[in-house]
Amino acid sequence: MARMYKSRKGKSGSSKPFVSEAPEWSNTDAAAVKQLVVDLGKEGHSSAVIGTILRDQHAVPNARLVLGKRIGAVLAENNIGGTYPEDLMNLMRQAVGIINHLGSGNHKDLHNKRALEITESKIRRLSNYYKSEGRLSSDWRYKREELRLMVE
């Protein structure tokens, strides 16, 4: 299958090996790991950063194997996190950065104009998915003028 924004075929990527249980050297105390996830979430860390901290500092290579669910699900159970899904918020932050770049005297930067169009397209497609899943309200619309308010 071809890449969406490239004029060439994609290359196959590596995949994680199938593992059904956590290794014996890892921290497998589910209650302690869940409490760590909740504490790190309350500090304002994203689920990706929480996973990295658990891996590097607490010997939990895969929190899903220990908890039986994803880090995002644990955060959602405890009502921690923003009003928007994390991947959508990351795309909106990227769009704000590009808009700031184009607005600060770089209005002729054609590559970043194209990058902004691509990013906004990704935001729209992802928002359609989240609307169908019920994680965004059905009347939510992407508006470039209101983007800074949503991100901050």
Using a cut of 0.85, tell me whether the model's pTM lies above it. no
Answer whether residue 17 shows pLDDT above 70.
yes
* Residue 102: CA count within 13 A, CB half-sphere: 17
Q: For residue range 22-37, what is the model confidence (pLDDT) as tens digits?
A: 888 998 899 999 999 9
Helix (H, G, I), strand (E, B) or coil at 137: coil
Q: For residue range 112-139, what is the model confidence (pLDDT) as tens digits?
A: 999 999 999 999 999 999 999 999 999 9
CATH assignment of 86-151, given 1.10.260, 1.10.238, 3.30.70, 1.10.287?
1.10.287
Domain ranges of the chain: 30-77, 86-151
CA distance 79 to 76: 5
**Structure tokens given for 141:** 């619309």
What are the b/e assignments for 83-119, b being 16+ CB within 10 Å? ebbebbbebbebbbebbeebeeeeeeeeebeebbeeb
DSSP assignments along 116-133, one per residue? HHHHHHHHHHHHHHHHHH
